[in-house]
Structures are given as structure tokens and as C-alpha cells.
């Protein structure tokens, strides 16, 4: 799988409608080697190191395919797919199937045969798609959209069927990442959260990871170190230790009065009248899920084993039960110092690339102890 030349590559979406290949020189610096002018703005890309095939989605709805030479000093156009009406949002090349999967502004998921160039099938999604992953073994496509849903589709050669839909985010799904070994799907959202959907466990476990203060923009999984890397538009990069067993957050309980002190909540007019009490706002303890008044849930704590790396509201009893050991962080936090729009992790070199709204590409090195240099 590993190609020695590919290690030193990165491709960028240029502002003048160009595709550029950057080569890492002996000095350790990246220098541009070759570029290709494009007919319109590039919106997404997928690169396969084995075949050196680069698929570039564009604002016009077409996907341009290039083959890069072995020395990465030349690239030749191979094929153009008229895939969508409107901007291509995600493109994904699957070598094992010889499929080119893509989603676009026209809300269609389409897949083409990359050998013949023919369109094989199409599926109309509920909303604009912003995340796409594919499981080669079972031929399942995971589609994350702007309504916050993740749809699982089973793709056949020329047809597809809806398997199930996951709902968990309160904002758009902005990124998806599939780990085929553990059979876990990660979804990132504009609601600042990440959800880990344990599909392989077959128990319907969904674990929330709260470690960002802004929209999640990218997710990558480092399978050899079992770390999830996530980034957000405020420049934050979080490296999550996925060797830790985390618990699901509880369902929030419904009550008309505080489940500790029995003060009525403000909509409970009857009890307020009967006991001549003022109504209180309802809050929830993030650990036990009980519906509580502000006074009975005044404490704050991190609960890393529930995915809360930031302090959240907890009740007094739960606050007592959380030990210092429980509070040990299960993730490390880093600042890329630019507003990230895209992130790529290269497992063969351990390098993490981020590109930002400042039009800068940054290359960071992931170290074994979860650090970034």
C-alpha cells in the first residue's frame, strides 16, 4: 500500500483555479513541482497513491480525473465525468470496486465505473451532502448531510437501498470518518460535537465527544495508534485516545419539578399556585440525566469518560462521585493558529496537513505521545 514517493506529496486547491503538486525537498521544505489550470473552482478532491489517480470535483458539477507521473513532475488529464448539476461536495475513489463516488449540490449521490467512465447509479439524498465514506467489505455508503442525519446505503453495481438513518446532531454533519477495522463511524458537526457510532458492536451505542468550541471541520482516524484527530474552524485540533472505553451520555429525563428538591419548573402552573412557589428553569445533569433546578445543579465538572472534555453541568451527587482520576483528560488539545477548512492525515509519515481560510497549508507531525510539532 505504501508508496515511497507519495509520502512527500500534497495537493492543494489553488485560488486561481489550479491544482498544484508540492514536493518535499531534501531541506524538508515543500516546493511546487507541477500545476494544472482548471476551468472552474475546485471544490473537493480524492487521491489514490497506488494508481496516482487524482479525482477533482468542481463547482460546475463535473469531476476531472488526472494521472500523476511516478516522479510527480507531470500530471495528465485522464477523464471528465459530468456527475452533478451544481457544485460537487465530496468525491471518493474506491480502487477495490473501481468506483468513483460523489455527492453534489443537486442532492444526488452518484457512482461511476472508473474503468468505463459510465454512470452506474444515483440516489437522491434528503439534504445537501457534506460527508461521504464507504465500507469496501459490505459495500455500505455512509452519507452525512446538512439536516444533521447520517444515512447508510447499501450499494450494488447499479442500484442502492436505504439501510438506516442515524440522527444525533443538532447541526449540519460536516465530516465523516469510517474505521473499517473497529467498524466505527465518526461524524462531526457544526454543533461542535463528534458522535462515535459503534456499528460493529451491534448494540446501537453512540458516544458523544465534546472537545471543540466551534464547527468541526475534519475527522481522521489513525488506526495504528487508535487516535481520532478532529479539527474545528477556530483552528483547534483535538487528538482523542480511542483506546479508552467511554460511556454513553444518559437520556435527559422529563419532569415538571426538580427531581432533587421538588421545586416546580416554570410551566408547572398548578404546583406553583398550590405551593405558592416561583417556577424555575429546567436544567439537566450531564452524568445522570436528571431534570433539576439551577440550585441543585450548580456544580461543573469535566467527564472525559463520557466524552465531555469541557466542564459541564452536574448535580451535587454526581459531582461527589467523579474522582480526580475520572477527570484525567482522554484527549490532547492543539492550536493550528488558522481557521481550518480541510484536514488530511497521512498515516505512512504521521503528518497532518491543514489548509485554512488564510490560504496557507500547514504540515504538522503527529508524535506517538499525541503531541504535534
> Which residues contribute to the site for Zn ion (CB under 5 A)?
258, 260-261, 285, 287-288, 293, 296, 315, 318
Give the residue with the Cβ less far from Zn ion, 69 or 310: 310
- Name the grid cell of 208: 458523544
Q: How far is the CB of 170 from Zn ion (least distance, A)?
A: 22
Neighbouring CB atoms inside 10 A of 253's CB total 14
Give the residue with the Cβ less far from Zn ion, 237 or 272: 272
Give the residue with the Cβ less far from Zn ion, 71 or 320: 320
Q: How far is the CB of 168 from Zn ion (least distance, A)?
A: 22
Give the residue with the Cβ less far from Zn ion, 177 or 296: 296
Give the residue with the Cβ less far from Zn ion, 234 or 262: 262
3 state DSSP class of 16 = coil
Q: How far is the CB of 254 from Zn ion (least distance, A)?
A: 15
Nearest 5°: CA angle at 370, between 365 and 373? 30
How many residues in the chain? 373
Give the residue with the Cβ less far from Zn ion, 173 or 258: 258
Nearest to 334 by CA among 352, 350, 308: 352
Q: How far is the CB of 305 from Zn ion (least distance, A)?
A: 14
Nearest to 221 by CA among 287, 175, 286, 172: 175
In degrees and rounded to multiples of 5, residue 72 shows phi and psi of 60, 20
Q: How far is the CB of 134 from Zn ion (least distance, A)?
A: 40
In degrees and rounded to multiples of 5, residue 277 shows phi and psi of -115, 160
Q: How far is the CB of 210 from Zn ion (least distance, A)?
A: 17
Q: How far is the CB of 266 from Zn ion (least distance, A)?
A: 13
CA atoms within 13 A on the CB side of 45: 25
Between the two ends of the chain, the Cα-to-Cα distance in Å is 26
Q: How far is the CB of 363 from Zn ion (least distance, A)?
A: 44
Q: How far is the CB of 324 from Zn ion (least distance, A)?
A: 18
Neighbouring CB atoms inside 10 A of 350's CB total 15
Nearest to 326 by CA among 305, 354, 357, 296: 305
Give the residue with the Cβ less far from Zn ion, 200 or 250: 250
User: Cβ(303)–Cβ(314) under 8 Å?
Assistant: yes
User: Cβ(297)–Cβ(318) under 8 Å?
Assistant: no
Give the residue with the Cβ less far from Zn ion, 88 or 322: 322
Give the residue with the Cβ less far from Zn ion, 173 or 315: 315
Under DSSP, the state recorded for 368 is: T
Neighbouring CB atoms inside 10 A of 324's CB total 6
Q: What is the dihedral of CA 325, 221, 196, 305, to 10 degrees?
A: 0
Nearest to 5 by CA among 55, 63, 65, 47: 47
Amino acid at each position: 500500500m505504501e508508496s515511497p514517493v507519495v509520502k512527500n506529496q500534497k495537493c492543494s486547491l489553488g485560488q486561481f483555479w489550479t491544482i498544484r503538486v508540492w514536493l518535499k525537498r531534501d531541506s524538508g521544505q515543500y516546493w511546487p513541482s507541477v500545476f494544472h489550470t482548471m476551468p472552474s473552482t475546485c471544490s473537493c478532491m480524492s487521491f489514490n497513491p497506488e494508481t496516482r489517480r487524482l479525482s477533482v470535483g468542481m463547482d460546475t458539477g463535473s469531476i476531472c480525473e488526472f494521472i500523476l507521473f511516478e516522479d510527480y513532475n507531470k500530471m495528465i488529464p485522464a477523464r471528465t465525468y459530468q456527475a452533478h448539476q451544481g457544485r460537487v461536495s465530496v468525491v471518493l475513489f474506491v480502487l477495490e470496486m473501481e468506483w468513483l463516488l460523489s455527492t453534489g449540490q443537486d442532492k444526488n449521490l452518484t457512482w461511476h465505473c472508473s474503468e468505463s467512465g459510465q454512470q452506474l447509479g444515483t440516489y437522491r439524498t434528503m439534504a445537501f451532502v457534506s460527508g461521504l465514506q464507504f465500507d469496501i467489505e459490505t459495500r455500505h455508503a455512509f452519507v452525512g448531510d446538512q439536516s444533521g442525519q447520517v444515512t447508510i446505503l447499501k450499494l450494488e453495481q447499479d442500484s442502492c437501498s436505504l439501510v438506516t438513518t442515524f440522527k444525533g446532531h443538532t447541526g449540519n454533519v460536516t465530516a465523516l470518518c469510517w474505521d473499517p477495522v473497529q467498524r466505527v463511524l465518526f461524524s462531526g458537526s457544526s454543533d461542535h460535537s463528534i458522535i462515535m457510532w459503534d456499528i460493529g458492536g451491534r448494540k446501537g451505542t453512540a458516544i458523544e465527544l465534546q472537545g471543540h468550541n466551534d464547527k468541526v471541520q475534519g475527522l481522521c482516524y489513525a488506526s495504528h495508534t487508535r487516535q481520532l484527530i478532529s479539527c474545528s474552524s477556530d483552528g483547534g485540533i483535538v487528538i482523542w485516545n480511542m483506546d479508552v472505553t467511554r460511556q454513553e451520555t444518559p437520556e435527559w429525563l422529563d419532569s415538571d419539578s426538580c427531581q432533587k428538591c421538588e421545586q416546580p419548573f416554570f410551566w408547572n402552573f398548578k404546583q406553583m399556585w398550590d405551593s405558592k412557589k416561583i417556577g424555575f428553569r429546567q436544567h439537566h445533569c450531564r452524568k445522570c440525566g436528571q431534570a433539576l433546578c439551577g440550585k441543585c445543579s450548580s456544580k461543573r465538572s469535566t467527564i472525559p469518560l463520557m466524552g465531555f472534555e469541557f466542564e459541564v453541568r452536574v448535580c451535587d451527587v454526581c459531582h461527589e462521585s467523579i474522582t480526580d482520576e475520572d477527570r484525567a483528560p482522554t484527549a490532547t488539545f492543539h492550536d493550528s493558529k488558522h481557521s481550518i477548512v480541510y484536514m488530511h492525515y497521512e498515516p505512512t509519515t504521521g503528518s497532518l496537513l491543514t489548509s485554512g481560510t488564510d490560504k496557507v497549508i500547514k504540515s504538522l507531525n503527529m508524535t506517538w505521545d499525541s503531541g504535534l510539532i
